[in-house]
Amino acid sequence: MFELHANKVASVKSDLLSGLTVALALVPEAVAFAFVAGVEPLVGLYAAFMVGLITAAIGGRPGMISGATGALAVVMVALVADHGVQYLFATVVLMGILQVLAGVFRLGKFIRMVPHPVMLGFVNGLAIVIFLAQLGQFGVNGEAGWLEGTFMQGSVIDVAWMSGSELWIMLGLVALTMAIIKYLPKLTTAIPSSLAAIIAVSALVIGFGLDTRSVGDVAGIAGGLPSFSIPMVPLNWETFMIILPYSVVLAAIGLIESLLTLRMVDEITQTHGSSNRECVGQGVANVVTGFFGGMGGCAMIGQSMINVNSGGRGRLSGIAAALFLLCFILFAAPLIERIPVAALVGVMFIVVLGTFEWSSFRIIPKVPRGDAFVLILVSVVTVLTDLAVAVVVGVIVSALVFAWEHAKQIRVEKQEDDNGATVYKVHGPLFFGSTTTFMEQFNTRQDNTEVVVDFADSRVCDHSGLEAIDTLAERYLNAGKTLHIKHLSPDCRKLLTKAGNLVEVNVIEDPTYFVATNA
């Protein structure tokens, strides 16, 4: 009993400390993404607080951190520019409703359809995006902003970069932060190394009066509690048609990023989260956020990595992060605004190094060329567009590669039996990709009067396969020959039954033969 209690105390301590670390890293991110979306900093901070709190409490993945993200911000900017921030709040509400419906109808399970090369490309591309986002802090007076949203839109940014002592101080503080995070765990694990690094670097900057940019130079974070307000938009069909396309895109991006992050945290922690529950949690969070003046959000892979690596495993870590962030807004803004940006950049650089799958360089020459191409493609598309587009492109290309490879597996053996009939034995799947090769194997003019097609080692997978069989039967009928089809699997016979008059084939079944099917 004592050991169990001690572990609980240690878990609470780890969750609280990791939550504090995450909250510190959330501040500049939320502010930056608010700027990208074209809204006030508090709109981003409120979203980080509310989305983070609700998803941590009711979502499907303990230990995962959610908040305002750049992937959503780059979609929001056009809506805000054309229609104003109130339309954004209404869009976030509808976005949340769509996400809740996705969870209710159990659509989260389809994340299983994402192949491993797409996952690797996703994390590699996201690591690059996070890295590019930090480079913006090396611009003079923050002129570069946070490059994530702008770069993803393909804009060319003309930036005045730091130079001289200002640059060297920034680089030195970033390097010191990274060194503390890397080597402190070898001395002690009593405090998360990221939190210790932020405190140490902040004390150094304040104590020696070093001239470097702080969080307060990016934006002020002081504010009050978010208040309930119905979005001030006309409640008519025209408004609905304006916000619907944005809501669908935002809901898709949010769920894809959240569910892929969930899978990553599952792998790191060797536990299992609920994808459908996460859909509902994200949806409820966004509905509430829209009514309380937030810009909406989803899971954040960078902050989730910080949390997990700092020891945060339970729901308390995400709840603590959100509550600490609220305390910063209400009470500790002057103190938090003195934290040097360099310390937070150093933390995020460590996240980049931990997120990027460096093993990709080793496995690319060893995996099939199609998988290697998908991995690189998803990484590039993630950087140039957004995560949702990259994942959809990756899944589609992976499916096409899979279809192409399996289409080449169809093989037909021709022989003659003792009764003088021409027998074709089909090997491999018959589907839309292999029907052309399948049809090329038959010669209606040279074959005998009786023709048997044996599907014992094959499987008819779709309607294209059925149409190929129907076309083949018609060719032999026109040639005055009889076609016999044997050993069709039970699932193929079901397809034939459902097709009805669409496919006119007389199937000769072998009642003593059974084909194993995948359950």
Question: Which residues are CB-neighbours of 40 under 8 A, at least 6 positions away?
Answer: 34
Which pLDDT score is estimated for 9?
A: 58
Encode pLDDT of 1-22 as tens digits. 333 333 465 588 889 999 999 9
Contact in structure between 502 and 464 (CB atoms under 8 Å):
no
Distance CA 211, CA 460 (A): 71
For the chain, the maximum distance between any two Cα atoms, rounded to a whole number of angstroms, is 99
What pLDDT digit, counting tens, does each position of 247-305 carry? 998 998 899 889 989 988 998 888 889 999 999 999 999 999 999 999 999 999 888 98
pLDDT tier for residue 505 given thresholds of 50, 70 and 90: low
Distances (CA, A) of 178 to 195, 346, 375: 12, 5, 28
Which has the higher per-residue pLDDT, 129 or 57? 57
Instruction: Give the contacts of 214 (CB within 8 A, at least 6 positions apart).
Output: 205, 337, 338, 339, 340, 341
174: pLDDT strictly greater than 90: yes
Encoded tokens for 73: 């911000």
pLDDT tens across 369-381, in order? 999 999 999 999 9
What would the mean pLDDT of 227-248 be, rounded to a whole number?
Answer: 94
3-state secondary structure of 479: coil
Q: pLDDT per residue over 403-459, tens digit each?
A: 898 888 899 999 998 888 899 999 999 999 999 999 999 988 899 998 999 998 998
Class of domain 408-502: alpha beta
Closest CA to 41 of 54, 28, 60: 28
pLDDT at 217 over 70: yes
Q: Which of 212, 282, 257 lies closest to 58, judged by CA?
A: 282
How many angstroms separate the Cα of 425 from the Cα of each of 150, 225, 442? Answer: 58, 73, 11
State the SS3 of 174-188: HHHHHHHHHHHHHCC
pLDDT at 154 over 70: no
Report whether 226 contacts 292 (CB < 8 A): yes
So what's the pLDDT on residue 148?
Answer: 42
Which of 86-95, 187-196, 318-327 bottoms out in mean pLDDT, i.e. has the lowest?
A: 187-196
Average pLDDT, stretch 46-74? 92
Confidence of residue 39 (pLDDT cuts 50, 70, 90): confident
The answer to whether 282 touches 52, Cβ cutoff 8 Å, is no
Task: Name the residue among 134, 155, 115 with its Cα closest to residue 377.
Answer: 115
- Which runs of consecutive H residues, i.e. helices, occur in 418-516? 435-439, 463-478, 490-499
How far CA 277 is from CA of 102, 282, 285, 420, in Å, comes to 10, 9, 12, 62
For the ranges 56-65, 142-151, 289-298, 460-469, the lowest mean pLDDT is seen at: 142-151
Pairwise CA distance, residues 9 & 451, whole Å: 76
Q: How confident is residue 223, by pLDDT bands cut at 50, 70 and 90?
A: confident
Phi, psi (rounded to 5 degrees) for 34? -65, -40
Judged by DSSP in three states, 438 sits in: helix
Q: What are phi and psi of 509, to 5 degrees?
A: -95, 150
Q: Round the average pLDDT of the chain to a whole number and report it.
A: 85
Pairing of strands 450-460, 482-486: parallel
What is the DSSP-derived secondary structure letter of residue 39? Answer: S
Q: Is the pLDDT of residue 126 over 70?
A: yes
pLDDT band for position 487 (50/70/90)?
confident
In single-letter form, the type of residue at position 175 comes to: A
What's the rounded Cα separation, in Å, for the pair 468 and 269? 49
DSSP class per residue in 40-55: -HHHHHHHHHHHHHHH
Rounded Cα distance, 435 and 422, in Å: 20
pLDDT confidence of residue 150? 40
Per the document, the length of the chain is 519
pLDDT recorded at residue 183: 92
Token pair of 248 as six digits? 């669908």
Higher pLDDT, 236 or 498: 236
146 band by pLDDT with thresholds 50, 70 and 90:
very low
Q: How far apart are CA 72 and CA 44, in angstroms?
A: 11
- For residue 153, what pLDDT is reported? 40
Contacts of 315 (CB under 8 A, 6+ apart): 56, 57, 62, 63
Say if residues 455 and 426 touch (Cβ distance below 8 Å): yes
Dihedral-angle region of residue 252 (phi above 0 means left; psi in -120 to 50 means alpha; beta otherwise): alpha
Helix residue ranges, H only, 313-368: 315-330, 333-336, 341-355, 359-363
Domain boundaries, the chain: 2-372, 408-502
Fill in the amino acid letter for 265: V
Q: Which residue has the tokens 């304006």?
A: 242
- Angle of CA points 280, 283, 285, to nearest 5°: 110
pLDDT above 90: percentage of residues in the chain: 43
Give residue for tokens 């509690």. Answer: 225
Q: pLDDT confidence of 500, banded at 50, 70, 90?
A: low
Q: Is the pLDDT at 337 greater than 90, yes or no? A: no
Nearest-5° Cα angle at 437, 435 to 439: 65
On the question of pLDDT at 509 being above 60, the answer is: no
Instruction: Provide the token pair at 202.
Output: 């902040």
